[in-house]
Amino acid sequence: MPLSEHEQRLLEQIERALVDDDPKFASTVRTGDRRLKARRKLQLGVLLILVGLAGLIGGVAVPSVPLGVVGFLVMFGGLALGVLNYKTATGAVEAAPGPAARPAGRGGKPGKARRQPLKDRLEERFRRRYDQ
């Protein structure tokens, strides 16, 4: 659904304010897809697991404790890299901490457990700031 003219103007003002306030952050947000970077890290993690496993097996085949320890550490690092980037790489939705992540309890309405979309919150903040 296309944005209305008012929403487009608000978005442009927010973008300009972001670039003026923090140009480094704005350029970071503009460049690249987080999923692509996370997928590369996930692939690197899998590669490190395989290399570490080969080092671990090599350390056992050739009785070398340091080679086995290094292989294990490389394998563990690859596993950590993969686990830390799995959700972002696969596009899995992360639950935000706080009341929005918890399901509605006794007496709560299911619709109230959801948070307002980011666009709506930003627009409301913008209106409150200029209405005062």
Instruction: Identify the band that residue 49 occupies on the pLDDT scale cut at 50, 70 and 90.
Output: very high
Q: Taking phi first (over 0 means left), then psi (-120 to 50 degrees means alpha), and beta for anything else, what does residue 50 get?
A: alpha
The Cα–Cα gap between 128 and 132 comes to 6
Average pLDDT, integer, range 77-95? 78
pTM of the model: 0.49
| pLDDT value for 127 | 84
Instruction: Identify the band that residue 61 occupies on the pLDDT scale cut at 50, 70 and 90.
Output: very high
What would the two tokens of residue 40 be? 């590369």
